[in-house]
Amino acid sequence: MTLLEVSDLTVAFHTEDGPVLAVDSASFTMAEREVLALVGESGCGKSVTSMALTGLLPANAEVSGSVRFAERELVGLPENRLSGVRGRDVAYVFQEPMTSLNPVLTVGRQIREVLYRHQRMARSAASRRALELLNQVGIPEPERRLGEYPHQLSGGMRQRVMIAMALACRPRLLVADEPTTALDVTIQAGILDLLRTLSAEIGTAVLLITHDLGVVADIADRVVVMYAGRTIEESTVDGLFASPSHPYTRGLLDAVPNPARRTDGGLREIPGLVPVLSSSSDSCTFADRCAHTDDLCRSSRPPFEPGPAGHPVACWHPVSTVDASPELWRAGA
């Protein structure tokens, strides 16, 4: 069953230097209980897309298109109704918990506030639920942690507190925006295991925003690749790693150092930068960085349709390759 359907989502920011097009007609769907990874380099529109889902963008953002969550349209929904969706039906885990958690409130107080707001729990019931949540996310000595402040916790424990808050109301969709950034490899693995386990146990779908393809191979069911605000490729994890069709996706895979699949010992990069657009372009936005560019690429926007590997890709000249199974990425991540 489809849980989330995003169609032609466009986000433009009005600035003193003119409009900036951050998301350009992005489209994708998510099913119940699915883990979908939204990937791309910094500046491609991943986080803006996620915040546009529930109206979290600043006042200078203009949002158009459609976001249907559980068959309910969210774009244009009044703020008082959107605030009831956030936290209860759609919850967020942001990449830096130290800036997301309130430094002057205890961990217990911040978890209880979610329960007061969305479930109208009494203080005693909310305290019991907060303790249960800290246990669930694997925080040691949870009774003591309830009375501590964010600065008293490690980075991994702060991220677990964020996950506990996000899951407090058993949301149908959890948006995890770079949840393992700045964490060491061991803690990162623990956070990913936790997200995977909780998704399976609670039945929550997860929209994972990341640029780490090792994380994608480890946890995701499907992948949507974004570039310059557009969705340019969509596939199952197995399909994307075995047969990346867009030259940009191919470049992302090649740019990751992975001894399990590298034979030349060198590192590769995608030349150039993500373009900053003021309006939608009638061309391929990757044209200036692509080795396969021709006049068609510079004059017409490629349609998002099945390519040679069978999954959708927005490219006039999709590549046909066989790369590797996700197992090699998991081994080298």
Q: How far apart are CA 48 and CA 296, in angstroms?
A: 29
Give the position of tokens 């979908």: 36
Q: What is the pLDDT of residue 333?
A: 45
Question: Do 30 and 2 form a contact (C-beta atoms < 8 A)?
Answer: yes
Superfamily of domain 1-89+171-333 in CATH is P-loop containing nucleotide triphosphate hydrolases (3.40.50.300)
Cα separation, 177 vs 215, in Å, equals 12
CB neighbourhood size of 218 (10 A): 19
Length of the chain as a residue count: 333
Q: At what angle do helices 123-136 and 107-119 cross, to 10 degrees?
A: 120
Q: Three-class SS of residue 133?
A: helix
| Whole-angstrom distance, CA of residue 146 vs CA of residue 200 | 26
User: At which residue do the structure tokens 């693995």 appear?
Assistant: 189
Instruction: Determine the 3-state secondary structure of 100 from DSSP.
Output: helix
pLDDT by 10s per residue, the chain, length 333: 899 999 999 999 999 989 999 999 999 999 999 999 999 988 899 999 999 999 999 999 999 999 999 999 999 999 999 988 998 999 999 877 778 899 999 999 999 999 998 888 999 999 999 999 999 888 999 999 999 999 999 888 998 899 899 988 889 999 999 887 767 777 778 888 888 887 888 889 999 999 888 889 888 999 999 999 999 999 999 999 989 999 999 999 888 776 655 555 567 788 888 888 888 889 999 999 999 999 999 999 999 999 989 999 999 999 876 555 555 555 444
230 beta partners: 227
Burial of 266 (0-12, 13-18, 19+ CB in 10 A): exposed
Give 270's contacts (C-beta < 8 A, 6+ positions apart): 41, 248, 251, 252, 255, 289
Where do the structural domains in the chain lie, given as residue ranges?
Answer: 1-89+171-333, 98-170
**Running DSSP on this structure, what letter comes out for residue 171?**
-
Q: Which structure tokens are listed for 53?
A: 């889902």
Give the span between the Cα atoms of 151 and 161, in whole angstroms.
12
What angle, rounded to 10 degrees, do the helices at 123-136 and 155-166 form?
Answer: 130
Residues 6+ apart with CB under 8 A from 108: 127, 130, 145, 146, 147
Interatomic CA distance for residues 272 and 278, integer angstroms: 18
